[in-house]
């Protein structure tokens, strides 16, 4: 499964609408589907039961997908158990059950390579000091990763110096904060955190009267459910952060633990954009393909999952592909996310299990 090098060699990673790339991407997903059907009996049995309506759709659209919930109930492997190198788990905050994703060494290394490629293209190759709005993960088990730990280690690729804002009890370590800002605030630096933590532990608690954040680039993602419950949208979140901290570079990203490494960043105009490593499709509650500018369930496709059949997943998130000519200059699929679907909207996925 060394096909990923073909993608890594491409310097224009935000040109996923290129016809030559689209053909390569579709062929790769088709081969991955065949591979996982051969290597994972449960996956093979499951996709045989999926009744996709065909006719008039592209080959890519006709490939079978898994509901994201299945990873909470099934141990899906396309490798022998003795090849498991790392186990990833979701937060499980909604249902209490956690998705479990099993990686061999090759799959894990490819995730790092792809994430590094995306981050380098988005933010440049120069590492900068990074303030994490999180607890120091130094005591964690490096073979068992939660979604938050996976993100922390992944984004640390960008860091020349790592500092963690929160103490073990979750309170702010102001001594760390003041030392970090005293040393690095006059140069460009990163702030990273999960969206709800940025709001709760950074926006709500930090007094910026004596701290200068104008050189910061804020990177955040996930945790939107807690904010949407209190009426905070992506747009209002950005406005609040900019107004209080004078931070003008704010980048939201979208990704799932089930496809770690394949992430989507917002462009300068607030649209998420696909890279050459992944793409999305929008379907209605009956799994019919929806046209652009129509809201439905997000299906995510990725070339990365090889140790488990997670290359083609229908999520519980609602979104829409926007048919626009965006002046951001990125030639990928532009889309918006509208939050989590209601249970009735995803019942079809659950029934399929």
Residue 200 domain-assigned (yes or no): yes
Would you say 322 and 271 are in contact if contact means Cβ atoms under 8 Å apart?
Answer: yes
Would you say 166 and 227 are in contact if contact means Cβ atoms under 8 Å apart?
Answer: no
The DSSP result for 103-151, as a single string, is E-HHHHHHHHHHHHHHHHHHH-S--EEEEEEEE-GGGS-TTEEEHHHHH
Residues lower than pLDDT 70 in the chain: 1, 51-57, 91-96, 139-145, 343-353
> pLDDT value at position 80?
96
Would you say 217 and 191 are in contact if contact means Cβ atoms under 8 Å apart?
Answer: yes
**Same domain (yes/no): 135, 248:** yes
Residue 40 domain-assigned (yes or no): yes
Q: What is the mean pLDDT of the chain?
A: 88
> pLDDT value at position 351?
35
**Same domain (yes/no): 51, 129:** no
Whole-model pTM? 0.89
**With left for phi above 0 and alpha for psi between -120 and 50, is residue 241 left, alpha or beta?**
alpha
Residue 61 domain-assigned (yes or no): yes
Residue 10 domain-assigned (yes or no): yes
Residue among 49, 46, 96 nearest 72 (CA): 96
**Same domain (yes/no): 118, 247:** yes
**Same domain (yes/no): 302, 214:** no
Q: Domain of 173: which CATH number?
A: 3.40.50
Would you say 91 and 146 are in contact if contact means Cβ atoms under 8 Å apart?
Answer: yes
Instruction: Residue 149: give the domain boundaries.
Output: 112-254
Residue 102 domain-assigned (yes or no): no
Number of folded domains that form the chain: 2
Q: Domain of 20: which CATH number?
A: 2.30.38.10
**Same domain (yes/no): 179, 225:** yes
Would you say 1 and 306 are in contact if contact means Cβ atoms under 8 Å apart?
Answer: yes
> pLDDT value at position 122?
93
Residue 213 domain-assigned (yes or no): yes
Residue 103 domain-assigned (yes or no): no
Bridge partners for 302 per DSSP: 278
The DSSP result for 290-345, as a single string, is PPTT--EEEEEEES---SSS-SEEEEEEEEEE-----TT---S-EEEEEEEPPGGG
12, two tokens = 């224009």
């Amino acid at each position: 499964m060394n096909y990923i090098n073909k993608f890594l060699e491409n310097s224009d990673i935000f040109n996923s609408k290129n016809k030559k790339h689209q053909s390569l991407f579709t062929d790769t997903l088709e081969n991955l589907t065949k591979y996982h059907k051969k290597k994972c009996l449960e996956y093979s049995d499951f996709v045989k039961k999926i009744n996709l309506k065909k006719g008039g759709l592209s080959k890519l659209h006709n490939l079978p997908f898994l509901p994201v919930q299945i990873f909470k109930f099934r141990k899906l492997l396309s490798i022998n158990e003795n090849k498991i190198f790392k186990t990833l788990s979701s937060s499980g905050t909604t249902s209490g059950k956690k998705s479990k994703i099993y990686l061999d060494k090759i799959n894990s290394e490819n995730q790092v390579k792809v994430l590094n490629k995306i981050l380098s293209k988005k933010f440049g190759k120069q590492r900068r000091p990074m303030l994490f709005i999180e607890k120091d993960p130094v005591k964690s088990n490096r073979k068992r990763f939660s979604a938050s730990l996976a993100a922390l280690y992944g984004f640390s690729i960008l860091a020349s110096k790592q500092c963690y804002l929160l103490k073990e009890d979750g309170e702010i370590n102001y001594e760390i904060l003041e030392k970090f800002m005293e040393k690095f605030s006059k140069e460009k630096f990163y702030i990273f955190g999960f969206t709800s933590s940025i709001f709760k532990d950074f926006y709500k608690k930090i007094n910026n009267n004596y701290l200068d954040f104008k050189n910061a680039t804020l990177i955040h993602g996930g945790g939107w459910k807690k904010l949407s419950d209190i009426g905070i949208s992506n747009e209002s979140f950005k406005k609040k952060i900019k107004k209080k901290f004078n931070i003008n570079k704010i980048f939201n990203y979208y990704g799932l633990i089930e496809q770690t490494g394949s992430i989507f960043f917002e462009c300068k105009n607030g649209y998420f954009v696909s890279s050459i490593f992944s793409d999305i499709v929008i379907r209605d509650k009956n799994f019919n393909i929806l046209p652009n500018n129509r809201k439905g369930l997000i299906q995510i496709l990725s070339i990365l999952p090889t140790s488990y059949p997670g290359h083609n997943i229908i999520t519980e998130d609602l979104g829409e592909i926007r048919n626009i000519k965006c002046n951001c200059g990125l030639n990928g699929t532009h889309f918006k996310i509208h939050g989590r679907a209601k249970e009735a909207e995803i019942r079809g996925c659950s029934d399929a299990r």
